[in-house]
Structure 1
C-alpha cells in the first residue's frame, strides 16, 4: 500500500503542474487547439512506449475506450483549457477537487463503492467550497467568471465519473493500452475545435514546450500511472490523489505564475 501511496503523490505532483501550464498556454494557442495538441502529444508518446513493449492496440474495445476518452480526458481538458482563459490556475486546481465528489456518486451508482454519510457530506462541502471561491476570490464574480467556474465544475464532474469506468476497464485491458487508446480517440474528438482555433494561434516556443510537457508527462505518463494504480485500489482511493493535486496546483501557480493565496482560496479549500 505504501508503494501505491508514493505513486499517488508522484501522480499528484505531475497533474498539479497541468493547471499552471494550461493557464499559460491556453491564451496563446487557444483552448481547443491546446487540448487537442496535448492529447496528440500524449498519444504519440504512449504509442512509442507500446511499440517498444510490443503491446497491441485494444481495437475490439473501441466503444468503451471512446466513452472513457470523452469523459476522462477530452471533455475535461477542453473545459479546463477554456476556463483557464478567465480564471487563475489556483482556481482551476481547487475546483478540480469536486471530481472526487462526482466520482463517489458515479462509483456508488455503478456499485463500485458504497455511498456513506461522510462521503455525501463531502459532496456538499465541495460545492460550498466552490461557492466560497467565486464569492470571496480576488476576481469579481462576473457572468464570465461564473460561466468559467461552472464549466470547470462540469469538467471535473465528467472526469470523476470516468473513474469507476476505468476501474472496470483495467480488469480486461492493459493499462498502457487503455491510456494510449483513450488519448488517440480524444485527439480525434478534439480535432474540429482545434481547426477552429488554428488561424488565431500563436505558436511560441514557450507554448509548444508546455504542450510537450503536458502531453508527454501530465497526460501520457500520468494517466498510465493512474490506470496502473487503479488496478490495485478502489476508484475513490485513486481519486483521493485529487486533494494533493489541488495542493500542488495552487503551489505551482503561486511559485511560477505569481498568483496569490487569498481568502477565497483558503475558505474554498
Structure 2
C-alpha cells in the first residue's frame, strides 16, 4: 500500500468517525427508517450533480440488480441498524462496534476466495479489536435487553459492511466509482421509500437534526462513499475496510467535542494498537515508509549496457 492510500484511509476514518455523533443527534428526530432514506436520497442527489458536472452516465440497466444488492449490504442495512442503535448507545460505543467490520471483511474475502486468510491479517484484526477496547473505555453499560439488541445491531451492521466490501470491490472492476456510488444510493432510497413513509408522522424537524442529516447524507454517505469506491479500485477489500479500526479514535474525539462523551489519557495505548492493526491488515507500515523516504535514491542503471561497458 502506498502512502497516499494510507492517507486516504485516515481521511475516511476521520469523516466517518464523525457520523456517529451526528446519528445520535438526528436519530431521535427522524427515526431509523426515515433517516436512512433521507441519507440515501441526499447522497444520490449530490453524486448525480457530480456525475452531470463530469459528464458521466448512469450505469447500464444490466448492472442495477447487483448494485441494489450492494446497496442492501453497504447502505440500507448498516444505515437502519446504526440509526436504531444510535437511539440507545453512546456514539463512541457504536464506533467501537463498527471496528469489527474489517474482521468480517477478511473472513468474507477468504470465504469467497478473493484474498488469502493470512496469520498477519488475523493478528491485525485481533490487535484492532483490542485497541479499540482500550481506546474507548466507555465503562459499563446497563445490560438490559434493549442495549443487547443495539449491540447486536451494530455488529450485524459491521458484518454487512465487511461482506459488502467484497461486492464493492467487484463493482469497481467493471464500473466507474462515481456512477456506481450514485446508483447504490438511489437504489437504497427507493428500497427505503415505503418503509420510511410509515415513520413520517413521528418526524420532528429540529434545526440541529436537519443539519446533522444534511452532513450525513451529502458528505459521510455520498461523497465519502465515492472516495471509498475510488480507493477500493487500487487496494484490497480487507485493506479498505481496515479504516474502521481508526474510526473509534475519531468517533470518541468528535463525541467528546460535541456530545460531552469522555476522552482520557488512558485511551492512548489503544491508539498504538489501532495503528499496529492497520499496519498488519493493510500491509503498510508508516514507520518503514518514513525511514525509506529519507534514504537517498540509488542512481538508475543505464539501459542497453552490459556490466563491462
Q: Give the TM-score, by structure 2 length.
A: 0.80
Q: Secondary structure at the match of 1:183?
A: helix
Q: Secondary structure at the match of 2:142?
A: coil
Equivalent pairs counted in the alignment come to 269
- Contact kept in structure 2, 1:108 and 1:115, CA below 8 Å: yes
Aligned twin of 1:57 = 58
Residues of 2 paired with 1:6 and 1:128: CA distance? 23
Alpha-carbon distance, 1:193 to partner = 2.5
Which segment drifts farther, 153-162 or 237-246?
Answer: 237-246
Alpha-carbon distance, 1:260 to partner = 2.0
Aligned twin of 2:286 = none
Alpha-carbon distance, 1:80 to partner = 0.2
Aligned twin of 1:36 = 37
- Contact kept in structure 2, 1:94 and 1:250, CA below 8 Å: no
Question: Structure 1 residues 76 and 266, CA, compared in 2 at 3 Å: closer, same or farther?
Answer: farther
Q: Which is higher, the Rg of structure 1 or of structure 2?
A: 2
Q: Are 2:256 and 1:254 aligned?
A: yes
Q: 2:102 aligns with which of 94, 100, 103?
A: 100
Aligned twin of 2:10 = 9
Residues of 1 paired with 2:246 and 2:180: CA distance? 24
Question: Structure 1 residues 253 and 78, CA, compared in 2 at 3 Å: closer, same or farther?
Answer: same
Residues of 2 paired with 1:150 and 1:132: CA distance? 20
Counterparts in 2 of 1:93-242, with a 5 A limit? 93-120=95-122, 137-242=139-244
Alpha-carbon distance, 1:120 to partner = 3.7
Residues of 2 paired with 1:119 and 1:153: CA distance? 19
Alpha-carbon distance, 1:138 to partner = 3.6
Residues of 2 paired with 1:51 and 1:136: CA distance? 45
Residues of 2 paired with 1:223 and 1:48: CA distance? 15
Question: Structure 1 residues 128 and 13, CA, compared in 2 at 3 Å: closer, same or farther?
Answer: closer
Consecutive unaligned residues in structure 1, runs of 5 or more: none
Segments of 4+ moved more than 4 angstroms:
121-133, 265-269
Alpha-carbon distance, 1:139 to partner = 2.2
Give RMSD over aligned pairs: 2.6
Residues of 1 paired with 2:6 and 2:210: CA distance? 32
Residues of 1 paired with 2:116 and 2:222: CA distance? 30
Q: Are 2:78 and 1:76 aligned?
A: yes
Question: Structure 1 residues 141 and 253, CA, compared in 2 at 3 Å: closer, same or farther?
Answer: same
Tell me the alpha carbon deviations over residues 81-140 of structure 1, each in whole angstroms, 9 at most, x when there is no partner.
00010000001100001111101011111222111234345556777889999x983421
Q: Give the TM-score, by structure 1 length.
A: 0.92
- Contact kept in structure 1, 2:99 and 2:129, CA below 8 Å: no
Alpha-carbon distance, 1:64 to partner = 1.0
Report 1 or 2 for greater relative contact order, CA contacts < 8 Å, sequence distance ≥ 6. Answer: 1
Consecutive unaligned residues in structure 2, runs of 5 or more: 275-309
